[in-house]
Amino acid sequence: MKVTIGHLYPDLFNLYGDSGNVQCLKQRLVWRDMEAEVCPLCAGDEIDFGKLDILVWGGGSDKGQALAVDYLRQIRQDFKDYVEDGGVVLAICGAFQLLGKYYQAGEDRIEGLDILDIHTERCDERLVGNVVLESPLFGTPVVGFENHAGRTVIGDCTPLGKVLYGRGNTGDGGYEGVVYKNVIGSYLHGPLLPKNPEVCDWLLERALRRRYGEDVELKELSDEAELRANRNMAERLGVGKKGR
């Protein structure tokens, strides 16, 4: 079995090692004797969404986001169709924001893809620091690092998780990220997936089942080091088993 991973706009969106998410997806397939093809999709490239199993889109600065607007307009309909058809997406920070209607950055309104009914407004105070979430999708807390000026209002959409430590989508709303069909949007850098193998496998399993059928099961991996890193962070922040 083979999984094709599209890495969207690595030239404009690659903050805080977010491309490590692509490596993690690939490596966890390789460990399971599966094939992974990574396709960098640079600004202006023709994108054949039908070929893709997973689309990974990293965080980007306000400038990178503004530069992407015209390219996004060109791929908007195909991207939306891919999402509605169950296509798997991981969108981090600036990319998470652009899944929505707009990112209002001062006087500039950066138009999003309008795939999700969410929007973002920039505030003066940046939200920077470690984050721990509790998500109904995963048995293990999700850990990561946030650094954003935008506050994202997700309205009736489903959040990725409840903030146990850190600030999250709006700084004070208690929730982080968004989940829609097979899409995860999140502010969490880190990169997110290496320390959260369950999140990585959630994406892989959905991609494999969409392509090869619902009975595909992922072979278990030991994840000892990954879970130790995860636990270490949660406990250091006082929200692990030994914490509150």
b/e burial code for range 201-222 (CB count within 10 A of at least 16 → b)? bbbbebbbbbeeeeeeebeeee
Residues 85-104 interacting with ligand GLN (rule: CB under 6 A): 93-94
Of 23-31, 74-82, 145-153, 227-235, which part binds ligand GLN (CB under 6 A)?
Answer: 145-153
What is the DSSP code (8-state) at residue 108? E
List 24, 93, 157, 200, catalytic entry = 93
Among 11, 45, 62, 114, binds ligand GLN (CB under 6 A): 62
Helix axes 197-212, 20-30, angle to 10 degrees: 60
Active site residue 157: no
What is the C-alpha to C-alpha distance for residues 33 and 31, in angstroms, rounded to an integer? 6
185 closest CA partner among 81, 98, 77: 98
Task: Considering only the stretches 49-57, 58-66, 191-199, 204-212, report the one whose residues sit in contact with ligand GLN under the rule CB under 6 A.
Answer: 58-66
Stretch that binds ligand GLN, among 48-56, 59-67, 165-173, 231-239 (CB under 6 A): 59-67
Residue that has been written with the tokens 């404009």 in this structure: 12
Q: How far is the CB of 13 from ligand GLN (least distance, A)?
A: 7
Confirm if 44 and 71 have CB atoms less than 8 A apart. Answer: yes
- Work out whether 128 is an interface residue with ligand GLN (CB under 6 A): no
Q: Residue from 6, 10, 20, 59 that binds ligand GLN (CB under 6 A)?
A: 59
CB of 105 to ligand GLN, least distance (A): 7
Cα dihedral 213, 192, 25, 67 in deg (nearest 10): 100
Instruction: State yes or no: is 39 an active-site residue.
Output: no
Which residue ranges make up the site for ligand GLN (CB under 6 A)?
15, 59-62, 65, 93-94, 147-150
Give catalytic residue positions: 93, 189
